[in-house]
Amino acid sequence: MVLKRIVVMFMVLLALGAVGCERRQEPLKIGLAINLSGRGGAAGEDIRDGALLAVEEINRQGGVKGRSLLLLVKDDENSAAGIERADQALIDAKVVAIIGHSYSSNTIKAYPQITGNNILMITGYTATTKLTGRDDLFFRTSIDCQVYGQKTATLLKKKGIASVSFLMDMSNADFVLDYAAQVGLHYQGEMTMVQFESRDKVDWQRLSQQLLAPSPGAIIMLTESSMTAVGVQYVRDQGFTGPVIGTIWTQSPDLIRIGGPATEGMSLVSFIAPDNQRPDYLQFSSKMQEKFNKPATARASRAYEMIYILADGLKRAAKIEDAHSLKNALLESEFESILGTLRFDQYGDVVRPVYEVVVRDGHFVNGGEIQ
């Protein structure tokens, strides 16, 4: 009798323990594959931090359909091998979507591997037109080179530039060649192309001389922020006082941190308005400072935006771990993000305005929308 009671008590304790140890719902995994350790990897820190912050906020709000989000960050090392390794690791981890990569060339390399595994791919850092107009699992929140080219040509005309020299980092050849070609479609002035490989040792003196040799009215730097920062110093040292134009690739605090006063007056063609006063953006900016001791950047805000768009899509998707359901959910409505309203066309390409961003007094300011 007594023994029976003791056994019953132990059974109850065991049952309670079993309930307590009940397995939690698996988190929804989202992959982030970007360059963190390769050249220009410092910019990747902002992407990672923005994405981490968004994930933390969403989880605090209850996650997606009761499941928390888990961000798996992989360094693609800005190399083909690194890209394949990073993406495969994420695919093996059964992520529902992969955000990546940092450059058009890297994205194009990763595209078949990711979409081929029936995983939705989304990026805010890829402008190549090679992925434009495809009915696939590829989405992007960044505009493509076709729009960039048109807007850059408009900006050149507005500034009355008769000739222009391009500094082209061929480590991201898909982007820079595409960009220059699209500008050429809309710009009638003389265009000089100066190409280099940032992975190699860069002879800055020679590059700057090549850029300035045709006495261009403006220089367009199709380089990442640290390269642009160094490059703009050298062309200014060579006495060039004309407009230096960068791309959204350059829109990073590193441009000003590394380039210093030489970047003053530079123009960037970007879809990230620097004077964003939306309350949710200001809150995001404040949290970036609080959590990471650094200001909100264009890259961080794009990463933050993408996480929220993905979470929103996952909430509305019929099947939460099905790429095509997620795709349909993303296509069916507009999104209100910290960067404004956006929507995807039927091919997953974004539709949003483009601005001229100007470096003034060591800060990015809005030079107005380029119509």
Would you tell me which residues interact with another protein (CB under 8 A)?
1-2, 5-6, 9, 36-42, 44-45, 48-49, 52, 56, 73, 75, 201-205, 226, 229-230, 233-234, 237, 257-258, 260-262, 291-294
Whether residue 167 contacts residue 185, with contact meaning beta carbons closer than 8 Å, is answered with no
Cβ 49 to another protein, closest distance in Å?
6
Cβ 103 to another protein, closest distance in Å?
15
Structure tokens at 341: 């309203």
User: How far apart are the two ends of the chain, measured CA to CA in Å?
Assistant: 88
Cβ 309 to another protein, closest distance in Å?
22
Structure tokens at 11: 């059974």
Q: Which residue has the tokens 């008769």?
A: 162
Closest CA to 28 of 91, 75, 96, 76: 96
Q: Which is nearer to another protein, 152 or 198 (CB)?
A: 198
Whether residue 357 contacts residue 364, with contact meaning beta carbons closer than 8 Å, is answered with yes
Q: Which is nearer to another protein, 60 or 279 (CB)?
A: 60
Whether residue 65 contacts residue 320, with contact meaning beta carbons closer than 8 Å, is answered with yes
**CA–CA separation, 127 vs 268, rounded Å?**
15
Cβ 88 to another protein, closest distance in Å?
15
Residue 357 Cα distances to 68, 83, 126, 139, angstroms: 37, 31, 19, 25
Cβ 42 to another protein, closest distance in Å?
4
Whether residue 232 contacts residue 259, with contact meaning beta carbons closer than 8 Å, is answered with yes
Q: Which is nearer to another protein, 137 or 288 (CB)?
A: 288
Q: Which is nearer to another protein, 68 or 328 (CB)?
A: 68
Q: Which is nearer to another protein, 261 or 368 (CB)?
A: 261
Cβ 158 to another protein, closest distance in Å?
30
Q: Which is nearer to another protein, 296 or 329 (CB)?
A: 296
Structure tokens at 318: 């019929």
Q: In whole angstroms, what separates CA 84 from the centre of its chain?
A: 18
